[in-house]
């Protein structure tokens, strides 16, 4: 399976340019599955603690409109997260999109920061805490969206569910790149799965975004990383390696 991770700017001109280049990259690399950053298609709402209903609805509708462009990028499977409103409840929804089945909701982000620059808990509510494995083509995937990476007990639960791909859309700063990589490697090891993460890049909302998307092996080995010079990375993985990892240390320990 050929996996692509990326880093994208969220300001409109930069996003359009990055999207066009990403489409070309996925075509050249014959991508099977693409992971997008956390809420990638609108400016970062959570830089301020004051909730703005109009801005939230604009972000929801903008992300909805971008779904119509997923077919243009050429990847038959796309994973990511987006803002949604469901029966009056605001959520950060992890999703699986496929060319043949369309859009499927997969997970609602449970653990929300609420601090300078990242007032997520002030903008939307926590999910119900359902960390459920989902089908992504012929792979089994699980979501740990950004902050959820630090709650590694769910990576362990995903291991028991046979998860092969641990998807972590992020919105994290440049100054914390090394810390997040450490968290991603730990989660991949605990799950015995390939860790995938894509992140925002550039500067917006008063934040220098870190980029640094990654593909990690089931034992935490770094297989690919994005950068400002190389904003997209694609490698071929063997899902069987994640299956085999479930019976090795530390996954087998009960």
Q: Which domain holds residue 208?
A: 2-245
CA distance 229 to 123: 33
DSSP class of residue 154 equals: H
Query: pLDDT above 70 covers what percent of the chain?
Result: 100
Averaged pLDDT, 113-128:
96
Q: What's the confidence (pLDDT) of residue 92?
A: 98
Output the CA torsion sign for 185, 191, 193, 197: negative
**Structure confidence at residue 254 (pLDDT):** 83
* pLDDT over 90 (residue 10): no
Whether 250 is in a domain gets the answer: no
In this prediction, residue 223 has a pLDDT band, given cuts at 50, 70 and 90, of: very high
Give the count of beta carbons closer than 10 Å to the beta carbon of residue 151. Answer: 15
Q: Is residue 251 part of a domain?
A: no
Residue 233 has pLDDT above 90, yes or no: yes
Indicate which CATH number applies to the domain containing 124. 3.60.110.10
Averaged confidence pLDDT in the chain: 97
Residue 12 lies in a domain: yes
- Domains contained in the chain, number: 1
* 254, part of any domain: no
pTM: 0.97
How high is the pLDDT of residue 205? 83
Which residues lie closer than 8 Å to 40 by C-beta, 6 or more apart?
Answer: 8, 10, 15, 80, 169, 198, 200
On whether the CB atoms of residues 156 and 144 are closer than 8 A, the answer is no
Q: CA-CA-CA-CA torsion for 68, 73, 75, 79, nearest 10 degrees?
A: -60
Task: Let me know if residue 169 belongs to a domain.
Answer: yes
**Over the stretch 164-216, which tens digit does the pLDDT of each residue have?**
999 999 999 999 999 999 999 999 999 999 999 999 999 988 899 999 999 99
Using a pLDDT cut of 90, give the percent of the chain over it. Answer: 98
The answer to the question of residue 92 being in a domain is yes
pLDDT digits (tens, 9 = 90+) for 42-55: 999 999 999 999 99
**Euclidean distance between CA atoms 193 and 16, whole angstroms:** 32
- Domain assignment present for residue 129? The answer is yes
Tally Cβ neighbours within 10 Å of residue 68. 8
- Asked whether residue 253 is domain-assigned, the answer is no
pLDDT of residue 138: 96
Q: Cα 112 to the chain's mean position, in Å?
A: 15
CB burial of 34-62 (b: ≥16 within 10 Å; e: otherwise) equals bbbbbbbbbbbbbebeeeeeeebeebbeb
Query: Do 166 and 149 meet the contact criterion of CB atoms below 8 Å apart?
Result: no
pLDDT tens string 73-106: 999 999 999 999 999 999 999 999 999 999 999 9
pLDDT value of residue 210: 96
Q: Is pLDDT above 90 for 247?
A: yes
CB contact at 8 A, 215 and 4: no
């Amino acid at each position: 399976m050929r996996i692509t991770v990326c880093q994208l700017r969220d300001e409109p001109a930069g996003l359009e340019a990055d999207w066009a280049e990403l489409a070309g990259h996925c075509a050249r690399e014959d991508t099977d599955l693409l992971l997008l950053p956390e809420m990638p298609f609108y400016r970062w709402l959570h830089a301020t603690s004051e909730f703005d209903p109009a801005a939230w609805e604009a972000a929801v509708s903008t992300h909805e409109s971008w779904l119509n462009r997923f077919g243009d990028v050429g990847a038959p499977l796309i994973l990511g997260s987006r803002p949604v409103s469901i029966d009056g409840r605001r959520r950060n929804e992890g999703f699986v999109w496929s060319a043949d089945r369309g859009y499927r909701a997969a997970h609602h982000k449970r653990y929300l920061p609420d601090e300078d620059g990242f007032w997520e808990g002030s903008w939307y509510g926590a999910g119900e805490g359902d960390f459920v494995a989902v089908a992504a083509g012929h792979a089994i995937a699980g979501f740990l969206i950004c902050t959820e990476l630090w709650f590694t007990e769910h990576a362990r639960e995903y291991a028991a569910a046979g998860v092969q791909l641990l998807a972590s859309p992020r919105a994290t700063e440049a100054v914390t790149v090394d810390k997040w990589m450490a968290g991603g490697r730990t989660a991949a090891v605990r799950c015995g799965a390939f860790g995938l993460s894509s992140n925002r890049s550039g500067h917006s909302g008063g934040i220098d975004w870190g980029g640094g998307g990654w593909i990690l092996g089931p034992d935490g080995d770094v297989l690919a990383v994005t950068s400002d010079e190389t904003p997209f990375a694609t490698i071929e993985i063997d899902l069987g390696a994640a299956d085999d990892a479930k019976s090795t240390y530390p996954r087998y320990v009960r």
